[in-house]
Amino acid sequence: MDNLYIYLARLDRKGMKVLASFPHGSTVYPTRVRDLNRLGLNRELFQNVASEAQQNKMTHELYFESAPSLERLLASLRERGYTHLPMNQFIANVANPRINDTDLLTKNSTMIQRASSRR
């Protein structure tokens, strides 16, 4: 089972900060969170994440992503061009979270271009 990580990623791709982690049943691809209210987090987690996002809103973006471990999450970020990633950091593990995951990307979508008949 993967863990769902809530993290702040720097806009210049030179770092990130993990805010929380908890077990989650399905795979969630990197999803930028624009409206935290729609996720339906419990009050304590919502307040912590919202305050961190507000304090860092000029330099960071809030993301959700699932990974089996922190090392795999950092590897995924490195593949997407992030540098200066922390080797280890304290992560608040949340027990029994309640989250509305309808806004999270659970499928890796691709766009297929049709062949043009104008050739």
Q: Are 89 and 71 in contact (CB under 8 A)?
A: no
Of 17, 16, 1, 18, nearest to 80 (Cα)? 16
In terms of phi and psi (left: phi > 0; alpha: psi -120 to 50; beta: otherwise), the region of 55 is alpha
Q: What is the pLDDT of residue 78?
A: 94
Burial zone of 16 (CB within 10 Å; 0-12 exposed, 13-18 middle, 19+ buried):
buried
- Is residue 119's pLDDT more than 60? no
What does the domain layout of the chain look like in residue ranges? Answer: 2-103
Q: What is the pLDDT of residue 61?
A: 95
Q: What is the pLDDT of residue 21?
A: 87
pLDDT, tens digit, for every residue of 26-80?
888 999 998 888 888 888 888 989 999 999 999 999 999 999 988 999 999 999 9
Q: What is the pLDDT of residue 107?
A: 61
- Is residue 100's pLDDT more than 70? no
Q: Are 42 and 98 in contact (CB under 8 A)?
A: yes
